[in-house]
Structures are given as structure tokens and as C-alpha cells.
Amino acid sequence: MIPAIVLSLPFIYILATKPVLRRLAIRNATRRPRESALVIAGSLLGTALMTASFVVGDTLTSSVTALAYSRYGPIDEVITVLPADAALLQTRMAGLSHPDIDGSLEISTLDVSTATLSSNGSNATAASAAPRAQLLELDFAKASVFGGDAKATGIMGAGPAEGEAVVLEALANRLHIRAGDSFTAFALGNQVKLRVQRVIRQTGLAGFWRGREVLSYNAFVAPGTIRKLAAGVDVQALASGKVAKGSLPLFMVAISNRGGVESGAAHTKEVSAELEKRLKGLRTNISPVKQTLLDAARKAGESLQQLYQTIGSFAVFAGILLLINIFTMLADERKSELGMMRAMGLKRRSLVATFASEGWLYAIVASAIGTVVGLGIGRLVVEGAGRIASSGSSDLRTPINFHFTPSSLQNGFVIGLFIAIATVVGTSISTSRFNIISAIRDLERSKVRGGKFRSAIGSLVGLSGLALAVGGFAAKQATTIMAGPALLALGVATFLNRKQSHRLVLTLCAGFAVVWGAAGVPIAIGVGAAPSPTVFLIQGLILVIPSVMLLSEYQNEVGHGLARITGRRLAMRLGLAYPLARKQRTALTLAQFSIVVFILTYISVISSMFEGQAAAFTKDLGGGYNVVLDSNPIDVGELKATAGVTAVAPIVHTERASVTPRSTKEATEWPMAGIDESFLNVTPPRLTDTGKYPTQRAAYEALIASDHFAIVDDRFLSRQGPPAAVVGIGDKFTVKDPTSGTSRELTVIAKSANDLLFNGGWTSAKAMRAIFPTTALASRAYISTTNPDAFVAAIEARDFRKGASAVTISGRVNEQLAQQVRFFGLIRSFLSLGLVVGIAGIGVIMVRAVRERRRQVGVLRALGFQANSVSNAFAIEAGFVAAEGIIIGVALGLISCWTLTLSESFGQKFTFVVPVGTVVLLMFATMVGSLAATIGPARSAAKIKPAVALRITD
């Protein structure tokens, strides 16, 4: 709250110490309560959207953080070794004592597939199956007190006896089993039948899970069960290159740091250092699981918050323009009285102070209400996000729980207050610069041509723009690539305005800026710069502002053309007269509309382009393959022999590699996939950039032949928002095995299409075996089959013992695109709030216009202008401005999207598709909304009694 108080201090001081200014500010603010309410409504948008963004971020952070409770509980770090090294680890860990550690617990795990069988024997089929499950062995007595908080562990009561299992809800639900029922676990070619002792909830240690799924398919079994399943596995032989029959058992020691579930993670650095010292020389890896999860939660929350803030900025910008418009109108309305006060000796700065103090009164109320409204908007967005999340795979669905922190509300309040105050103060300074006589006599302001100072500013802005553009291209920075040339055009325009024809300069410079706005993003992507959401905000501003300036310059021609077409009807003439005469106001309203319509059109078209790309994406991602199969393990021979299969490419795949780019040195857990020559037996997935290799095949061959190369997509290591390439061609990153700690640096040689199949980075199978010496396993396969859907059903039924899980590539692409389209829909809903404000804004402006023109309406009525013609004129005025705003916004949105199809944007080559229905609906809804917002003011204008209006002297 301190920033809000600091921001408010000057105004509090003025109101407290200057009685005349206080009286003016307060009386003007309370003079017309209904109109003050409208000003407040216009001002609260910034606060509402900022607060909503913070709340959305809070919710995601909180939702991901909740996983710390449901899958780790007291576990802060996990040390992993293969069973062969278990004894060594136990020896090293003996007598562990550290002030930041309050416990350790031994856990053995094995990845298994589970099923309930319809009959006994080798011909049994699965009644229900959970292909990805985990067996765990631990000491229940020790586990229940691990970390000192029994509730946080989720482990209570007696452990399972031999042949028994304590299973988690998710596994029990998937297999449709309950206490007393039996199921079978399969791994490494063996199987074990288990009876359910009891079903427990997914909490803390009980939910311990190493996969990317949110639900844990755990079964706690009696000591010795895992050894029985792994019987016959020679770990040493595997290390020398022999292929395992499946995932190997792992031995782990979980560490609990001092403190609670979240606070314990604060000691991770010290604890990790102590463990590394203690385990030096051992083939192991210390994974700070809790800290990693909490970091990911924070990043996910911040990322989503930033995304919504950037998107919301379009609407906030519209809100700022609305505020400027309202205050300019207020100043115009009070021009005579302000002129009189200046004539009587009121200083200009006092005038600014009184106007700004009045604005502060509005802003403080608007920010308070906006915070509450923002909370509501955030709630709606979270609701929408929750629905989108629930449409995907339930395994990967993070439960979304609405949450906000007091600091988020404070931040939203302060940012909104700052935006409102900055706008009000800026407008007050601008409107206070009037000629006293002109103001008193209500004459128009004379236009000021720029002086030498303005030329100097122009030169400075132009040179800064040039520097930014050059620097942006050199550093491949999309924001500066976009902003630089636009600033250059602004600088040139400001500089030349004094020397050349205003119209010529404006036409050339604004025209250049519009062209750059449309072409800049594909050009930036073309030179290898990654577009962030901020780039699209800059693009929107670069497109809309100069377009509106251009239209304003040629507004008379537009108006006269329109008047000619409509036969110079009087209501039309009057409706057009005001927007044409008050160009500055019209431009502000136009920009307010255009920016929101632009981004709504843009998102609608992009969404439609994504939707229409299913076939192209499927072809890009699959090449000649049409099914992806996960199985523990892949048996190539058996698959090739399956009916309809024409090609099988085994992939050494892991979901848990620790990947660290050389540039950021920040480790991220990410999947990696290794391929061999068989991958090229049919057309491989498309590469969007083959780097120095002449063909896609050549790039793949180089990858397979080496054990130091990688191919990645634009989303590699980047989870939220638009693709932001973390590594490019030629960049290096290190891949580390979280079990053994073995690592290798790989160089990116090419770029692939978007990884909608979660393969991760591509490398060679031999590189994978080098990095993951004992756990590398062909657990995924790309398959070409004559009947993909039939194959998926057949293979899952046949290979349930291996946990076979298959998807058609087209099915996965459709699922991903549908989710993406729903996400765009959510963003569109968020943005449409800006449209609501834009529409409400036009209503506010028309209300003020009616008040401002009461006397003129009275004259018109006296002269014989019918009441309905008066309301028609107001409706035409609002409709004209809205129509221009809609046309600019839609046109710019379409052009920008079209330019994106000229190059490979977002890692894909798009086809330009216009969602005609959506765009027409957007245009229609905006126009109808604008006209509806004008009904009230237009009606009240029609009701003005001429005799009453003509008596008005203010």
C-alpha cells in the first residue's frame, strides 16, 4: 500500500492545504453523480484487468504448488541409484546428521503396468488396465513419522503383507478395484498378483510419483515384491550395452528438510551441498524435487500472469484512451469557467492541481472498485481455464483451485491507480495550456506547429529508433526489431513536420509505420528472433496508432464521400459533422475501438488458422508414420509381425532428463528421444529448418550418425505462452541422467515442427545410451500401419502386460489443437472485456456529448429538427466512429495474420484462413453494442426541450 500512499500524497496535500482547489475538485466531482459514476466506470478497467492477471497467476502458482502436498509431502530431495548400488548408498548415508535435515527414508520403486484379468493363464485379457503404474516398497512405520508431520506423509496404519498392496485412489479407480480385490502387476517379463489391502488418498509421501502425470498410480507392496519381478535382470550386463526388458528397479533415499512442506525447500541448497559431499564418487543423482516443483509453480504462475497482463494491456490501452477522452471533454465543457479562473489569477499549475485532484478522487474510487471487479474477472478466467484443463487427459490435468494473495490485490490496485493518475495528470497538463481569451470566448484552439525544440526531440526519437532497430536485428530481439523502425518513423515525422507539408509527412511516415507493423513480426521471426506476447502488443500499437492518424488526416474526404453516398440527409450530415470537426476526440475513440477489435480479430484468425491446420500438422509431425506407441519395452520384431504394420521405428525415450542450455545454465526436466537408422525407413517428421544440411534426410542422417547432435522444436524447454525458442541452431545444451548423473553436451543442428507428441529433444539412440547407460530403453515407437485406429485398439488389448499405450498421430494433433483453440477462446473472452469497455466508453462519450450540446440541440429543435432526427444524428455519430474503428481493427488484424503465413511462424507454416462467421459476428456485435450504448444518450437528447436548452448558459 506504500506506493499507493506515495502516489496519493501530492493530491492529499493539495486537498488538505488549498481550500479553493479542494472546493473546486470536490464540487466538480460531486456535481453530476451519474456522470462521475461513468468516469469511475471508465477508470476502473486498468485495475480490474491487472488484478485479474495477478489472481490468475496466483491461482496457477497455488494449483501447481498443491502438487507439493499431494505428491511429495515431507520429501524435499531424492537420491536415486540402481539396486546394484543400493548397498553403497546405504553405507554412505549411515549416520546422516545435519541441522537442516530432519529425516531420511529408503524407498524402492519399479515402473509396472497393471491390470485386472478376465481369466487366468497366458490367454487372459485385461478387464481394465493402468499401463503406467509404480510399485513402491518402504517401511510404513518409519514413513508415517517421516518429516515429523504424520498427516503430511499420507501414510498411516500397517504396511502390506506379502502378496498384498496398499493402492492409491487413482489406480483403484482406473482398475475398478477396492479392498479385497486382486490385480496383477507386470514388469520385465514377469508378473505378480496382488490383493488390495486398502485404498488410500493421494497425499504427501503416499503420492510420490516421478512421471509428468498429476495423478499417482501407486501401489505400496511388501519388501521383496520388486525383487521377485526383477528376477533375472543383470544390471551389470545392461551397463555394457545389453537392452533391458523394461524399466529397471530403482533404489532411492528421500530426504526431508527441516520445516514444513513448503518452507523445508528453503534449505535445499545447504542440504544438497551436504549430500553431494557425502556421496562424492558414487553413481547417483541428488534431485531437489520439491524446490524444482515450487520453482516450476512460481514460473508457471508468473508466466500466465505475464501473458494475461500483456493481453490485458490492449484493453488497458483502450481504457487509457477513454480516460483521456473523458477528461478532454470535461476540460472542453469547462473551458469558459477555467478561462475565467485563469483570468482571475489562478495559476496554470493550480489549474492542473485542481483537475488532477478531481481525477485522483475518481481514480482512488475506481481502483478500489476495480480491485473487486478484477477479483471477479480472475474468478471467471480461472473457471474457464479449469474447463479447458478438464478437457485434456485427466492424467495431466492440474486441478485448478481459485486462489489469490493480498499482495496481488494490492499490486492490482497500485498499478491501476498509477495508470489512472498518470493519464489524468498528463491530460490535465495538456488541457491547461489554453489561451485565456479563447477559452472565455469559447474559441477553438489554434494549432501549434512544432518549434526547434520539437525538431530536436524528433531527431532524438528518430536516432533512438535507428539504434534500437540496428541493435534489435543484431541481437535478434523481436521487441526492439518491431519498435525501432516505428520510432524512427515517429522521429522523422516530428522532425519534418515543421519543414514540410503536414499531410505529406504524416502520410509517408504513418504509412511506413503501418506497413512495418504488418510485416515486422514475420521479418523478426525470419531473422530468428522469438516473438513474446509483448511483441504482439507493440505490433498492435504500431498498426493502430498510425492507421488512426492516417484516417484522421483524411477524415474529411471520408465524411464527404459518405455524405455524397447517403444523399446529404440532414441527420447523417449532423451525425458526421461532430466526428469530422472534433478530430482529436474522434481519433481517441477510434484508437480505443481499433486496438481491441484488432487483437480480437487477430486471435480469432490465428485460432482458426490453428484449427484448420490439423491435416498439415499431422503430416508434419508424423511424416510417413501414423501411430505413436509407448510400451515397456518396445518389441520391434513382435510389432513388425502385427497385421497391417508396414514400418516400426523404436525410440529410446525418457521423460526425465535434466536439460541445461549453455546460455542460461538453468536445468529443466524435459523429455529426450533417441532414434536409429530405422527411423528413416519411411518419411520422417518434417524439419522446419535443416541448418547447414541440404535436405531433411541429410540432417537426420547426421543426427543418427553422431552422439553429440540434437534436433529440437521452438517449444523446447519452454512451457507456457507462445513458443519462445530457448535454444537455436548451433546452440549447445547438456543432458544429464537423473539416476546415474552421467551427462553429455549436445549441439542443435536442426529445428523440428512443434512437438505435440511430447517426444522432447531428438538425438541418436547411441547418444541416449551413452547418457543413460543403465536405464536407456526403447519404450516408444513410431509406427506406420494401414489402419491406425484398429491398430491402437488391438495393441493396447494385446500388450497390456507391457503397459502398451498408443495414440494415432492425427488423434493427438486434433486433441492438442482443440485445447489450443479453447485457450484462444478464453483469451478472447478476457479481451472482450476491453470491447465491453470500448462500447461502454462510446456510451460515456455520447452522454457527455449530449450534455455538451444541449444548447445546440435546443437550437436545432427550435429550427424545426424533429426529436427522432436528433436521436438519429447521435446514433449515426456513434455508429460512424464505431464502424471506422471496427473496419480498421478487422483490416489490420487480417493483414497481420496474413503476413504471418508468409513465413514459418510459431514453428509451423500456416495457411491463411479467415473465420468469416466469427469476424462478422465480432463486427456485428461491436456495432450493435455501440449503437445500444448510444440509445440512452440519444433518447435523452431527443427529449431536450428547446426552451429549456436555450436558457442554459453554461
Contact positions vs another protein (CB under 8 A): 442-444, 567-568, 570, 574, 577-578, 580-582, 855-856, 858-868, 945-948, 950-951
Q: Please say which residue, 331 or 767, places its beta carbon nearer to another protein.
A: 331
* CA 76/CA 265 separation, integer angstroms: 6
Q: Shortest approach of another protein to residue 883 CB, angstroms?
A: 19
Our CB check for another protein shows the closer of 250 and 576 to be: 576
Q: Closer to another protein at the Cβ: 580 or 886?
A: 580
Q: How far is the CB of 867 from another protein (least distance, A)?
A: 6
Q: Which H or E run contains 392?
A: none
Measured between alpha carbons, how far is 74 from 691 in angstroms, rounded to an integer? 47
Q: Which is nearer to another protein, 582 or 766 (CB)?
A: 582
Q: What angle do CA 479, 484, 487 make, to 5 degrees?
A: 125
Provide the pairing of β-strand 164-168 with 190-200.
parallel
Nearest CA to 851 out of 723, 738, 944 is that of: 944
Cβ 106 vs Cβ 90: under 8 Å = yes
Q: How far apart are CA 100 and CA 760, in angstroms?
A: 36
Cα dihedral across residues 655, 660, 661, 664: positive or negative: positive
Identify which of residues 407 and 868 has a Cβ nearer to another protein in the complex.
868
Nearer to another protein, 36 or 856 (CB): 856
Could you give the residue ranges of the DSSP H alpha helices within 392-477?
406-431, 436-440, 452-475
Q: Which is nearer to another protein, 23 or 441 (CB)?
A: 441
> For residue 48, what are the contacts with CB-CB under 8 A and spacing of at least 6?
370, 371, 373, 374, 377, 412, 416, 833
Residue 261, C-alpha cell as written in the block: 512442506
Taking each helix axis from N to C terminus, what angle separates 289-333 and 335-343, rounded to the nearest 10 degrees?
Answer: 80
Q: Do 588 and 328 meet the contact criterion of CB atoms below 8 Å apart?
A: yes
DSSP 759: -
DSSP per-residue letters across 854-887: HHHHHHHHHHT--HHHHHHHHHHHHHHHHHHHHH
The answer to whether the beta carbons of residues 894 and 600 sit under 8 Å apart is: no
Q: How far is the CB of 578 from another protein (least distance, A)?
A: 5
Q: Which is nearer to another protein, 258 or 335 (CB)?
A: 335
Closest-CA residue to 445 (of 454, 457, 432): 432
Whether 676 and 764 have beta carbons less than 8 Å apart is answered as yes
Minimal distance, residue 428 CB to another protein, in Å: 24
Q: To the nearest whole angstrom, how small is the minimum distance from the Cβ of residue 562 to another protein?
A: 15
- Cβ-contact 227, 239 below 8 angstroms: no
Residue 25 beta carbon to another protein: minimum distance, rounded to whole angstroms: 28
Q: Which is nearer to another protein, 296 or 859 (CB)?
A: 859
Distance between CA atoms of residues 511 and 517, nearest Å: 10
Q: Which amino acid is at 234?
A: D
Bridge partners of 711, per DSSP, are 750, 762
- If the CB atoms of residues 339 and 760 are measured against another protein, the closer one turns out to be 339
Smallest separation, CB 564 to another protein (Å)? 11
Nearer Cβ to another protein (142/582) = 582
- What grid cell was written down for 535? 511483441
User: Least distance (Å) from another protein to the CB of residue 364?
Assistant: 34
* Shortest Å distance, C-beta 591 to another protein: 21
The grid cell for 297 is: 509453480
Least spacing, CB of residue 864 vs another protein, in Å:
2
- State the nearest-atom distance from the C-beta of 859 to another protein, in Å: 4
* Residues β-bridged to residue 780: 630, 651
Q: Please measure the distance between the N-terminal and C-terminal CA atoms of the chain and give it in whole angstroms.
A: 40
3-state helix, strand and coil shares in percent for the chain, rounded to the nearest 5? 60, 15, 25
- The CB-of-446 to another protein minimum distance in angstroms stands at 10
Q: Are 267 and 257 in contact (CB under 8 A)?
A: yes
Residue 574 or 806: which CB sits closer to another protein? 574
Which one, 424 or 587, has the nearer CB to another protein? 587
Distance from C-alpha of 910 to C-alpha of 163, rounded to nearest angstrom: 56
Query: How many residues are recorded in the chain?
Result: 954
In contact, 609 and 896? CB cutoff 8 Å: no
Cα separation, 45 vs 51, whole angstroms: 10
Burial of 414: CB neighbours in 10 Å, binned 0-12, 13-18, 19+: buried
Q: Which is nearer to another protein, 77 or 877 (CB)?
A: 877
H helices of 566-613, where?
570-581, 583-611
Q: Based on CB atoms, which residue is closest to another protein, 475 or 570?
A: 570
Nearest approach in angstroms of CB 849 to another protein is: 11
Which residue, 569 or 686, is less far from another protein as judged by CB?
A: 569
Q: Least distance to another protein from the beta carbon of 863, Å? A: 5
Please report how close the Cβ of residue 561 comes to another protein at its closest, in angstroms. Answer: 16
Q: Which is nearer to another protein, 478 or 860 (CB)?
A: 860
Smallest distance, another protein to C-beta of residue 441, A: 8
Q: How far is the CB of 868 from another protein (least distance, A)?
A: 8
CA distances to 218, 330, 539 from 182, rounded to whole Å, are: 15, 78, 61
**Measured from the CB of residue 480, what is the shortest distance to another protein in angstroms?**
43
Q: Is 922 exposed, middle or buried (0-12, 13-18, 19+ CB in 10 A)?
A: buried
Residue 23, C-alpha cell as written in the block: 472546493
* Cell numbers describing residue 348: 496554470
**Calpha distance 143→203 (Å, rounded):** 13
**Which of 487/580 has CB closer to another protein?**
580
Cα 721 to Cα 308: distance, rounded to the nearest angstrom? 10
| Residue 952 DSSP SS3 | coil
